[in-house]
Amino acid sequence: MVHAATAECFSSVFASFDRDADDRISAAELRLCMKAALGEDVSAEDAKALVASADANGDRLLDEQEFLRLVVRSEMEEEEEERCRGLKEAFAMYEAGVPDANARQAGVRAGHGGVLRHDPQV
């Protein structure tokens, strides 16, 4: 589900990408606008693949809803990649703190969340 504010914001982006004002974005229009707006040099094949990935009706063009789904999907994928990076970093820090997998498992079984603590009274 796309929020109305997001749809409204990208409606103007869609209009600027739609160079010939036919309410559709072709792979060529997408390619030109990505170069102008983002500085990304997208190959013709990549532009066609992007269009095809969101083209629900098979006309090889993106209408506004298809364009919006493509943009939102891209943003969601970027957010997911960022979350995964964060988890990997956290796990790497955890791994550095407890180098032995058996020790980590023993800590989990002992209720320490995988972190063994030194008890000076023992």
Q: φ, ψ for residue 99 (rounded to 5)?
A: -70, -25
Mean pLDDT of 29-39: 86
Structural tokens at position 5: 């504010």
Q: What pLDDT does residue 45 have? A: 94
DSSP state of 120: T
Structural domains in the chain? 4-109 (1.10.238.10)
Mean pLDDT of 51-77: 87
Q: What pLDDT does residue 25 have? A: 94
Q: How far is CA 8 from CA 5, 15, 27, in A?
A: 5, 11, 22
